[in-house]
Amino acid sequence: GENVEQHPSTLSVQEGDSAVIKCTYSDSASNYFPWYKQELGKGPQLIIDIRSNVGEKKDQRIAVTLNKTAKHFSLHITETQPEDSAVYFCAANPTDSWGKFQFGAGTQVVVTP
Partner 1 sequence: DGGITQSPKYLFRKEGQNVTLSCEQNLNHDAMYWYRQDPGQGLRLIYYSQIVNDFQKGDIAEGYSVSREKKESFPLTVTSAQKNPTAFYLCASSIAWEGNQPQHFGDGTRLSIL
Question: Cα separation of 34 and 42, whole Å?
Answer: 18
Q: Which residues face 50 on adjacent strands?
A: 33
Task: Give the one residue of 93, 94, 109, 111 binding partner 1; rule: CB under 8 A.
Answer: 93
3-class DSSP assignment, residue 17: coil
Which among 20, 31, 13 has a CA at the least distance from the CA of 75?
Answer: 20
**Binding-residue total with partner 1 (CB under 8 A):** 22
Task: Give the one residue of 18, 96, 105, 112 binding partner 1; rule: CB under 8 A.
Answer: 105
- Smallest separation (angstroms) from partner 1 to the CB of 16: 28
- HSE-up (13 A, CA, CB side) for residue 58: 4
Is residue 29 at the binding interface for partner 1, with CB under 8 A as the rule? no
- Smallest separation (angstroms) from partner 1 to the CB of 94: 11
Read off φ and ψ for residue 82, nearest 5 degrees.
-55, -30
Task: Give the one residue of 24, 34, 64, 80 binding partner 1; rule: CB under 8 A.
Answer: 34
Residues that bind partner 1 (CB under 8 A): 31-32, 34, 36, 41-46, 49, 51, 89, 93, 98-101, 103-106
